[in-house]
Chain A
Amino acid sequence: MKTASLASLLRGPQAVGLALCMTFALSVHAQQATNAATIQSDTNQQLLQRINELEVKVKQLENKPAAPAPPPAPAPEPQAVETPHINEVAPRLHLNVFGDVGAQVYNHNPDTFYFGSLDLFMTGRISDRVTTLAEVLFIAHNDNTVTPDVERLLLQYHSSDYFTAAIGRYHTGVGYYNSAFNYGAFLETSIDRPFIYAFDDLGGVLPMQDVGVTVTGKIPSGKMGLNYLMEVGNGQSWIPGSETSQNNQDANNSKSINGGLFMRPEAISGLEMGFSVRHDNLSVPGPAVGELISTVHVVYINSDYEILNEGVLVRHVESTGPVFSTSGFYSQLSRRFRSYRPYFRYQYFNAPSNDPVYVYAGPNPYAPADVTKFVGRLNGPSAGIRYDFSEHSALKFQYDRVSLRGLAAQNALSTQLAFTF
């Protein structure tokens, strides 16, 4: 394709028209330039006159006596910059939300994504010594339903460090783990709780919640750092079709009683040792069963290391005489490396197959879905790593290998994203 020149494009009348247009445009431009020069000259004159006037005024002001300078503004008082660690949503109410989601790969059940829990945790200060604590939980069950649950509702009175009383629905002081960690998975190192402390909503058998009154505090003991706890509640019911936790109506007049003692010696910061003993008379379809739960724990926690060791012994005594003993323990070790925290846990739990109470428990979460009975031996290691990728969120990976009496060993790979805001 050739490119045509301007001259070849213009012929005869077209060239004359173009010349006329250019002449007209040039004449208009020349006239505008003349007018602009005239206007610019006038403007310059006005500006010079204005400058002269201002110079005169400046000289007049300089000749006047100087006025006293105004006093300097007082330096602002340092203001307190409070950084709340807990979200204040109203003058008396603090709210924290915990959540966790994840995925699991099993060799005994279909692989799945899961929504773990949504936990609304609220505290409020009613007066200098009276506080409230409420926790509303939404958890997904194995049948895929998501149900709301008032996990805790407590009114607390703090008389001193030696006496704090509370009434309402509480997490029991059975063992260390249940007192230190609850549903907020973000606060836990591992993805799940040790099996002996699994919640009854998820197949656990020990009483993790109760409704009643609690008293806690320190015991004057100097550097030994002794503490106590006492709890009286409705206890558990194992009548099929009813809630295990008796929130509104106790099935019998017998109340659960739990007492605990633990020490945090000042000489070894981070060390805690203690035990608890709990008694309850359980309502079951058969003869009444007395239950005695004894726990012991030795834990050591500082910013780098976490060493948890707990053991539990459960005795079920039927009114007709037979005694059934269930035992369990776990050890969990972890160490932090910057934002990473690898961990290892070994756990063991063994309930007799003819236990008069646990035969009514829900399915064992570690067992295949077609195994409906909880009882039996369960043991095995878990290993994982937690990565805190921000101050309020963590990503965890965990491998579990669990042996179950009479069944092939089960393997599971899990991941969890836990957060709080």
Chain B
Amino acid sequence: MKKITSAVPEFRAVAILAVAATVWWMASIEPVEAAGEPIVVIVNSANPVESLSLGELKKLFLGDRSRWDTGKAVAPVMIGPGATERTAFLKIVCGMNDADLGKYFLQAAFTGKSATPPKEVGSAAAVKSFVAGSPGAIGFVKASDLPAGDTTVKAVKVDTAASDPGYKIKM
């Protein structure tokens, strides 16, 4: 009986700590807001792919999928660090920031994976230029950087079209 009595305060303390930890964890969850300009995913015009899921897109950019169904090697490209569309894309699609991305590919190489990091270029025009010139390339640009009628590259759906209200990849 004495043991049970003495254990009650410990149980209460553990319960209070557990509740506090849960509240703290829930408060720390940051909602992912997707209310800005859409970010359009683009591939080479010759690539037959029309749509991708968010999970497939993540695999393509993180080297977890290395070839298209056509057999072409996947060549991801993105604008360099600091661009707002890059920051938003990494957060929404990969759940990472720039430092996480660097560490991810460092660890991938260290564990023997053949994954290579996305090629980085200096501007949205360079992203489109690279995708237009590489059959296996995939990249992303802001919607305003891909005017209607631009047929140098092909925009693909990611679960839904970029113009739909439910589109998830937004700045």
Interface residues of A (CB under 8 A from B): 77-86, 94, 96, 121, 123, 128, 131, 133, 152, 154, 156, 158, 160-161, 164, 166, 170-171, 179-180, 182, 184, 187, 223, 266, 269-270, 302-303, 388, 391, 420
Contacts and interface: CB of A to CB of B under 8 A. Distances in A.
A80 B121 contact: yes
Nearest to B124: A78
A319 to B, nearest CB: 35
B95 A156 contact: no
A302 B30 CA distance: 14
Contacts of A84: 117
A161 B67 contact: yes
B95 A302 contact: yes
Contact of A86 (B96, B109, B126): B109
Nearest first, the 5 A-B pairs at minimum CB distance are: A78-B126, A266-B55, A81-B122, A80-B121, A85-B117
A83 B81 contact: yes
Interface stretch (B7-15, B37-45, B100-108, B140-148): B100-108
B138 to A, nearest CB: 15
B1 to A, nearest CB: 29
B114 A184 contact: no
Nearest to B63: A161
B152 interface: no
Given A78-B125, A420-B106, 14 more contacts: A78-B122, A82-B120, A85-B106, A86-B105, A123-B109, A133-B112, A152-B112, A160-B66, A161-B64, A182-B111, A187-B107, A187-B110, A302-B95, A303-B95
A80 B110 contact: no
B85 to A, nearest CB: 16
A334 to B, nearest CB: 13
Contacts of B112: 133, 152, 154, 156, 166, 170-171
B129 A78 contact: yes
B130 interface: yes
B135 interface: no
Given A78-B126, A85-B102, A184 B120 contact: no
Contacts of A270: 95
A133 B108 CA distance: 12
A85 B110 CA distance: 12
Contacts of A161: 64-67
A269 B55 contact: yes
B32 interface: no
Contact of B119 (A80, A179, A182): A80
B26 interface: no
A182 B34 CA distance: 38
A187 B121 contact: no
Contacts of B100: 303
Contacts of A223: 55
A82 B106 contact: no
Given A78-B125, A83-B81, A303-B95, A187 B106 contact: yes
A184 B110 contact: yes
B120 A83 contact: yes
Contacts of B97: 303
A131 B106 contact: no
Contacts of B80: 81, 83
A156 B100 CA distance: 26
9 contacts: A77-B129, A78-B125, A82-B119, A158-B66, A160-B66, A269-B95, A302-B95, A388-B99, A420-B106
For B96, B101, B121, the residue with the greatest tally of chain A CB atoms inside 10 Å of its CB is: B121
Contacts of B103: 187
